[in-house]
A = this chain, B = another copy of it.
Amino acid sequence: MKELTLVKIGGKLIDDESKLSASLEVFSKIKGAKLLVHGGGKLATDMAKQLGIDSPMIDGRRITNTETLKLVSMVYAGWINKKIVAGLQALNQKAMGLCGADDNLILAEKRQHTSIDYGFVGDVTAVNKEALSTYIEQDKVLVLSAITHDGKGQLLNTNADTIATEIAIALSENYQVKLIYSFEKPGVLIHPDDDMSYLKCLDAVLYQEMKENGTINKGMLPKTENAFKAFNKGVDVLIGDLLRMSGDDYCGTELIACK
């Protein structure tokens, strides 16, 4: 099967102008079919404050009211997405920025929860892998923001790690997918404050232990959960920092099967 590298960038890699452009440079050198999914960084949070929009977080997930949805659609699908596209075009990449509503790429439904109303938060229900594959076969480099839609006219806010995972799983039917979750750390850390303590590889047994003893917590939890979800469906997964990788030397934490 043809290889496809899917990179998700987020966190401080998005906020920092020079780190973002360095990440795009590394991304542009990845050979073969590739696709970029990006998060939002903290610009949306900063702007919400400036505009007096209340935007609480529960378990690392933003509660999305009408005003927040408008703001994240602007920031993620507008500024960040188009800035990345223009940056990649300058690096001779055939970049094209889309969100889940475009070409009905990612269909979602408003999150159902017994006690918490997450507002306009979407859980993915379908990935249009035919459309995605068509663009990939036309050598386009898709740049996807994590805004989805319900097919009835409603935009929804979805976690970018989840988008990366769902797309990786959907495309793994047609491609050998390598999924890289890139963020500001070199990988999954044994000691959260020590970057040198990153794991070269992680299997489900060690993962379970690290969750139970609290080593993996907060923002790392949904990331690693997403990572194992993709891994369990046959996707090659690496968690690390694109800026510390070069050429085929993908440093980071690789998910591996239990021995």
Give me the interface of A with B, judged by CB distance under 8 Å. Answer: 47, 50-51, 70, 73-79, 81-83, 85-87, 89-90, 94-99, 101-104, 140, 147, 149, 151-155
Contacts and interface: CB of A to CB of B under 8 A. Distances in A.
Given A82-B102, A86-B153, 13 more contacts: A50-B51, A73-B78, A73-B79, A73-B83, A75-B78, A78-B81, A87-B153, A89-B149, A90-B152, A96-B103, A97-B99, A97-B101, A103-B140
Number of copies: 2
Contact of A155 (B86, B94, B140, B154): B86
A95 B36 CA distance: 21
Contacts of A51: 47, 50-51
A124 to B, nearest CB: 15
Contacts of A147: 82
13 contacts: A50-B51, A73-B79, A73-B83, A74-B74, A77-B81, A82-B99, A82-B155, A83-B155, A85-B99, A85-B101, A86-B154, A95-B101, A96-B103
A154 B81 CA distance: 13
Nearest to A98: B96
A154 B89 CA distance: 10
A97 to B, nearest CB: 5
A97 B105 CA distance: 12
A82 B106 CA distance: 13
Contacts of A153: 86-87, 89-90
Contacts of A87: 153
A189 to B, nearest CB: 33
Residue from A81, A82, A87 whose CB has the most chain B CB atoms within 10 Å:
A82
A75 B82 CA distance: 12
B155 A89 contact: no
Contacts of A101: 82, 85-86, 89, 95, 97
A233 to B, nearest CB: 27
A47 B181 CA distance: 34
Contact of A86 (B76, B78, B97, B149): B149
A128 to B, nearest CB: 11
A94 B98 CA distance: 14
Residue from A50, A70, A103 whose CB has the most chain B CB atoms within 10 Å:
A103
A149 B155 CA distance: 26
Contacts of A96: 98, 102-103
Nearest to A93: B104
Given A149-B89, A153-B89, A76 B73 contact: no
